[in-house]
Amino acid sequence: MDGLNVSDVNLQVQLHPSRSNNVRKSVLRELSSLLLRFNEKFQGVVLAYEFNIDKVPEILPSMHPYLYVRLKAKLLLFSPKPDMLLEGKVVKVRQESIHVIILGFSSAIITDKDIREEFQYKTKHGKDLFVSRSHKRHVIKAGTMIRLLVKSVDEETLCISGSLLPAHTGSILWLDKHVENVSLTDGSNKRRRGNEEESVMQEPSRTSAEAYSMVDHYIKKSKKHREYATQKPSRSEAYSAISDHSIKKSKKHRESAMQEPSRSEAYSAISDNSIKKSKKHKTREES
């Protein structure tokens, strides 16, 4: 979790002479007053400490003498800043917000506008919860430990405004089991965005290539059309060929008509033939 850091500091503690019998216990009491409070000097909330007394306590000469104790201490500080990832326990879920406790003392609220559309609000067995549309087992309800993104921090009240918009936020239990899938999804989304940018950059060349191929197609088509046009006779040539054919046909018809006997000649030939047949018949009867 972000926001936690250890700081090495030099401290000075003033103790009343009446506490000189047990200096260490008195120092512990003084340092305990710093816990779970925002300290401007350290720019954070003191969560824990350990210390060593650097020198033997000295009495300061003044109107009110005090024991002057120098310490070397290590402080565990909680310093949340915007865009940090924090972890906390959900204590209440409503349709318009999710309420979280961080480290047992700092409160955080996530409003519905800061909850990504992947999560859908539902009520199941009287309990309010948010369920992922893409992963049914990714559920946020009261008692769930979640990871959230810090939007802003109120130092006086230690109240944090959080967000669940990033893909790597949500239920810690689910995220730890599917961290590889989430990272792969983020990587594929980045690659997809990169490919889209590359395709946009390459779009003019692709368009020009398509245009060139279309031009080549029409050029080949026009060449074929011209070759076909040169091989094909023109309309006038076709008409002249048809007329020549009809003239030749008419000439053949006239020649056949000239060679064929007329109807009168055919009738005369038939009558002559019948006269000859009748004469032969009469000679047979006389004989």
| pLDDT > 70 fraction of the chain, expressed in percent and rounded | 60
| Identical fold between 4-78 and 84-177 | no
User: Residue 110: what pLDDT?
Assistant: 97
DSSP three-state, residue 264: helix
CB 45 within 8 A of CB 125: no
Other beta carbons within 10 angstroms of residue 231's beta carbon come to: 7
From the options 3.40.50.300, 2.40.50.140, 2.60.40.1260, 3.40.30.10, give the CATH code of 84-177.
2.40.50.140
pLDDT classification of 49: cutoffs 50, 70, 90: very high
Give me the mean pLDDT over the 183-204 stretch: 44
Is this structure's pTM higher than 0.75? no
Where along the chain do its domains lie?
A: 4-78, 84-177
pLDDT classification of 23: cutoffs 50, 70, 90: confident
User: Residue 213: what pLDDT?
Assistant: 40
Architecture of domain 4-78: 2-Layer Sandwich (3.30)
Please state the three-class secondary structure of 58-126 as a single string. EECCCCCCCEEEEEEEEEEEECCCCCCEEEEEEEEEECCEEEEEECCCEEEEEEHHHECCCEEEEEECC
Other beta carbons within 10 angstroms of residue 158's beta carbon come to: 19
Give me the chain's average pLDDT, please.
Answer: 75
The full length of the chain comes to: 287
Smallest CA-to-CA distance from 162 within 223, 88, 213 is with 88
